[in-house]
Structure 1
Amino acid sequence: MMTIRDTTFELLRKLNITTIFGNPGSTEETFLQDFPSDFRYVQVLQEASAVAAADAYAQATQSVGLVNVHTAAGMCNAMSNIFTASMNKTPLIITAGNQTREMLLMEPWLTNTHPEELPKPFVKWSYEPKRAEDVPAAFMRAYAMAIQEPAGPVFLSIPLDDWNQEFTGELVVRSVAHKVAADPERLKQFADKLSQAKNPVLIYGADISKHDGWKEAIALAEKMQVPVWAAPASERTPFPENHPLYAGGLPFATQPLSEKLQGHDVALIIGAPVFRYYPYVAGDYLPEGLALLHITNDPAEAARAPVGDSLISNPVLALSSLIEMVTVPENRQQPAIHKLPHHMAPHAVAENTQTTDTVLTALDVFKTVRKAVPENAILMEESPSNIAELHTAWPVTFHDGFYTAASGSLGWNVPAAVGIALAERDNGKNRPVVAMIGDGSLQYAIQGMWTANQQRLPIIYIVPVNREYAILKAFSECQDTPNVPGLDIPDLDIVSLAKGYGCIGKRAETTDQLFNFCLEALKQNRPTVIEVPISKVIPSLI
């Protein structure tokens, strides 16, 4: 007899989904019983961390990720990183159990009473099958929904007694296209406007990197010979930061962003929303005389853009067509070649560092780590108060060399590093993964370090310690809100916390110590967490 569980695992095999990230609960055990030997279960100690690890793994492998969490309680835990996966546009199937169908009417303990509503609005589709025999087909639909553009997470709730029921139907496996091509007439209009512009500019977003489009992005910029900005708050690097046409990252705020685009008559933004703003700084969305063209794979992004003309398309397909369609007038003025380095951070390195003879600056730390690790190391970031220092020290020069959370929500990068490192092991590249995590950010998903150790992943976690939420102090200054409580976090022992989860824990107080600890970490078969005290800085926000 083929059960619902047997049939579902066979479907997952045919879809090449054989890694499951999860934190098991009582309502999930009927799904996980007699776990197939050709599947891999990656145990994570908290549901949000399971979603983050699966998210990063799916991004790095360019596949659909699968997460299994506990019923209503586990879904509530997972929501912060379901939100992030939605903004990351990561194809994920998130599953949770529910109580037995016979008891659902009376809402027993641990029932998800509104399973299809709970994860909204951060999933593309949410469903609890009406019959047990519908479960495999629901997984097939979930896969199709997750992978089609714009990709994103979907959710299935499965009552725990469904899995052992007999499956008497036919297993149907379908393939679906997951790239959206542009309207050719509309794309020609965009190409003509770019060709006729006197001083155009390109703004590239993270979706270019997610779809492996650096080659096309570079080709269009070099054909047009125009400057390239990274869209605000790009979670992936959209263009090589050592390219002479790279201008840096646009600011997060309305007025400063508009000022950066002064003098241009046409701007094309592709693979990003128009625009990510935070904090609010009043001003015009665009400088006078600038026409904005917007290409996105997400109709919702196109709809909510406050300015500009939009086109729905996969960014790389659109770039490939524009390379052929755009012409360059002989009399077009050549762009100023920007002096390197430029970086994605929208502001310069902070000048108000409280330096001492015994405490390193954030810039010291990041320069030292960059020097110690190989050129092909993958950088991850969740240290918002010193992103300018990080990107100054570590220019990203390959398309999958940088990851962070599109949402700005903390608690993604520690477990996400597990997903990236697992993908590196699976694809045989085995590039080092270096995660820069602030001492405050680390606490949001610290249990992810346990999974990194259990999987024997040689991740290097660098923890700059300033014992405060410096980014919140920056917002306090920007918003003129003095005397906010709770912005200091003393008495955290990062080394002891790391050792408690089975990782190697080190404390570096000099650049020599830090450099040598990084070299040692590269030789390990488990994660290393390096705590580094740094000078206190209140960063600029714009």
Structure 2
Amino acid sequence: MVSTITVKQATFDLLRAFGIKKVFGNPGSTELPFLSDWPGDIDYVLGLQEASVIGMADGYAQATRNAGFVNLHSAAGVGHALGNVFTAFRNQTPLVITAGQQARSILPLQPFLFAERASEFPRPYVKFAVEPARAEDVPAAIARAYYTAMQPPCGPTFVSVPIDDWTKPAQAIEARSVTRELSPDRDAIRGLADALAASQHPAFVVGPGIDRAQAVELMVRLAEKTRAAVWVSPFSARCSFPERHPQFAGFLHASPGQISEALRAYDLVVVIGAPVFTFHVEGHAAIFDGATTLFQITDDPEAASVTPSGASIVATMKPALAALIELTPATKRTLPKGRVLPAAPQAADPIPAEFLLHSLGVAMPDGAVLVEEAPSHRPAMQKFMPMRGADSFYTMASGGLGHSLPASVGIALGRPDIRTVCLVGDGSAMYSIQALWTAAQRNLPLTVVVINNEGYGAMRSFSQVMQVRDVPGLNLPGIDFVKIAEGLGCDATRVTRSSELAGALKRALSHDGTSVVEVMVDSTVPVLYERKA
């Protein structure tokens, strides 16, 4: 006999069965029936604005490799959240996002706080969206949203729930096992293995899909067996290869000309866990002219469909890499030359960003995680803060600011046994600064380093690339991050001289709880791409 319980009870039973231990939210009136009599075994994580809520859930989901569960406030809350929903979609982060809706009986009257065509609002940046036709369908819709979110390529899903549904009767839903690995076509992998065996100068381009799939160790084994150079795909949001490894060649720019030049010496390029390729500026991509053989391994059929050249193998990372290691013969080709790390930058005043980044890399404790959102300083970070590999680095894949500060809170919640470090620009920090409150309230082991160059550095750089002048809105004077952080409950300090930096970082990284270090740096920014011809 099938037992009848409430929609709310059925939903919480599902969350427990799925291993979901936290719900991220910002409450509103249309969510109160869901929030009432909250169970003690599920932690409600309060964020002070919905973009921060989504960012925290995104970081937590990436850290725990399980879907983050989110509860938002009707249409207004979903609207606030959409920027970071877009980022979660680009990050391929599994999220189940629920939002309140007005009572079914008054929906025809367009009541206050109702969401018109609610399931359409977050599209196309969710994999699945629904407002169930009946209250008793809500638990099944949430189960479907979970399975869909967790299926590679992962991503956010959305369920709109009317306020009066939670107390209605429903049947219990039993959680099911749904496999997530997809084996590659054996003949296709054999063809790639043959191409690797025949190649004189092969290179791998690794993307975030490898680290997401916990396949970094397999990637290292494959690179060492094939003695190939390893590059990082443009805008990779994770670290999928140890950056001190002797075969590590460097980072590809999101410029067609620069990518083509970097890969010109290779007769075979294999892109794994990334698109082919992500561009940010225009230009001729000579890499597609036919001189270089291209292969791609991706778990995303859409990414395979837009690849302009070469062969794509659609499979998840672990079985694909394992099969490729098995089928590829050992080789005696000469090891490629890896990149040479630059000398440590010199201290100066005002503080050079490079000196800050090198100092932070030296000061970070073993096992610490870096979450970054400082786009104009990313090239310097890549030079002076080499990442160790698996689960060591996170950033946003979308280009939208406001993700990484709340994501660092979520990662600290998911990995409370290590120190999480958030490296964020002053412009980026202001998008979701209220996430600091959640971190402080929970005394999380989080250190936020704000690179303050008093402006939008990436836009200053692009002004040089595009050769445009007198662009308004690029300067951000007068923001006091120490006062803001202290007002939100954090330990905070400002560094203006290079001689103060090491001591401030050491103190902040050992602080019991959440700390903020604001570092005033030289306002000079690098040119991120080649200048427009």
TM-score range, shorter-chain basis? over 0.9
> Match of 2:378?
387
Shift of 1:289: 1.4
| 2-structure distance, mates of 1:252, 1:432 | 31
Give me the whole-angstrom Cα distance separating, in 2, the residues matched to 1:337 and 1:471: 31
Q: State the alpha-carbon separation in 2 of the partners of residues 538 and 371 from structure 1.
A: 23
Output the CA distance in 1 between the equivalents of 2:243 and 2:183: 28
SS in 2 for 1:237: coil
- State which of 289, 292, 295 in structure 1 corresponds to 2:291: 289
Residue identity matched to 1:454 = Q
1:338 is aligned to 338
Partner of residue 117, structure 1: 120
Deviation at 1:376, TM superposition (A): 1.7
- Give yes or no for contact 2:197–2:328 (8 Å, CA) kept in 1: yes
Report if aligned partners of 1:242, 1:340 keep a CA contact under 8 Å in 2.
no
Distance in structure 1 (CA, Å) of the matches to 2:477 and 2:257: 36
For 1:531 and 1:522, the matched residues in 2 are separated by 13
Is the partner of 2:158 in helix, strand or coil? strand
State the secondary structure of the residue aligned to 2:120: coil
Write the mapping of 1:345-360 to structure 2, written as runs, cut at 5 A.
358-360=349-351
- Alignment correspondent of 1:525: 512
Distance 1:439 1:341 in 2: 27
For 1:338, the aligned partner's letter is G
Residue in 1 aligned with 2:156?
153
| RMSD, aligned α-carbons | 1.8
**Residue deviations 1:460-517, cap 9 Å, x none?**
1111111111210111111122111111111111111111111112011234422222
CA contact (8 A) 1:458 1:521 kept: no
Residue 413 (1) aligns with residue 369 (2): no
CA contact (8 A) 1:220 1:319 kept: yes
1:288, CA displacement in angstroms? 4.6
Query: Match of 1:499?
Result: 486
**2:318 matched residue in structure 1:** 316
Match of 1:9 in 2: 12
Percent identical pairs in the alignment equals: 39
Q: Which amino acid aligns with 2:336?
A: A
**How far apart are the structure 1 equivalents of 2:145 and 2:285?**
42
Query: What pairs up with 1:55-74 in 2 under 5 angstroms?
Result: 55-74=58-77
Query: What secondary structure does 1:20 align onto?
Result: strand
Match of 1:214 in 2: 216
Q: Larger deviation: 356-365 or 44-53?
A: 356-365
1:196 partnered with 2:187? no
Give distance in 1, aligned partners of 2:236 and 2:348.
35
CA shift for structure 1 position 261: 1.0
Residue type of the alignment partner of 1:320: A
- Counterparts of 1:399 and 1:133 in 2: how far apart (Å)? 42
CA contact (8 A) 1:258 1:287 kept: no
> What is the match of residue 444 of structure 1?
431
- Structure 1 Cα separation of the partners of residues 505 and 18 of structure 2: 39
Which moves more between the two structures, 193-202 or 247-256? 193-202
Shift of 1:385: 1.1
**In structure 1, distance between residues paired with 2:486 and 2:59:** 24
In 2, distance between residues paired with 1:539 and 1:139? 46
3-state SS of 1:519 partner: helix
The alpha-carbon deviation at position 212 of structure 1 amounts to 1.1
Indicate conservation of the 8 Å contact 2:508/2:517, yes or no.
Answer: no
What are the ranges of 5 or more consecutive residues in structure 2 without an aligned counterpart?
Answer: none
Deviation of the 1:282 alpha carbon:
3.2
Distance 1:199 1:72 in 2: 54
Corresponding residue for 1:345?
none
Contact 1:55 1:92 in 2 (8 A): yes
1:139 aligns with 2:139: no
Residue aligned with 2:381, SS: helix
**The residue matched to 1:444 in structure 2 has which SS?**
coil
- Distance across 1 between alignment mates of 2:45 and 2:172: 30
Partner Cα separation in structure 2 for residue 284 and residue 117 of structure 1: 40
Q: Are residues 1:402 and 2:423 paired?
A: no
**Deviation of 1:54 (Å):** 0.6
Match of 1:2, SS? Answer: strand
- The residue matched to 1:93 in structure 2 has which SS? strand
**Match of residue 45 from structure 1:** 48
Distance, in Å, in 2 between the alignment partners of 1:125 and 1:339 is 43
Q: Does 1:249 align with 2:251?
A: yes
Structure 1 residue 82 corresponds to structure 2 residue 85: yes
The superposition leaves residues 208-263 of structure 1 with CA deviations (integer Å, 9 ceiling, x where unpaired) of 11111111101111111111111111100110001000001111110110111112
Contact 2:227 2:336 in 1 (8 A): no
Q: SS of the residue aligned with 1:10?
A: helix
Q: Which amino acid aligns with 1:129?
A: P
Q: Does 1:163 align with 2:166?
A: yes
Q: Distance in 1 between matches of 2:347 and 2:398?
A: 35
In 2 relative to 1, CA 409–357 (structure 1 residues): closer, same or farther, beyond 3 Å? same
What amino acid is aligned across from residue 412 of structure 2 in structure 1?
A: A
**1:176-187 alignment, distance < 5 Å:** 176-187=178-189
Amino acid at match of 2:356: V
CA shift for structure 1 position 336:
3.0
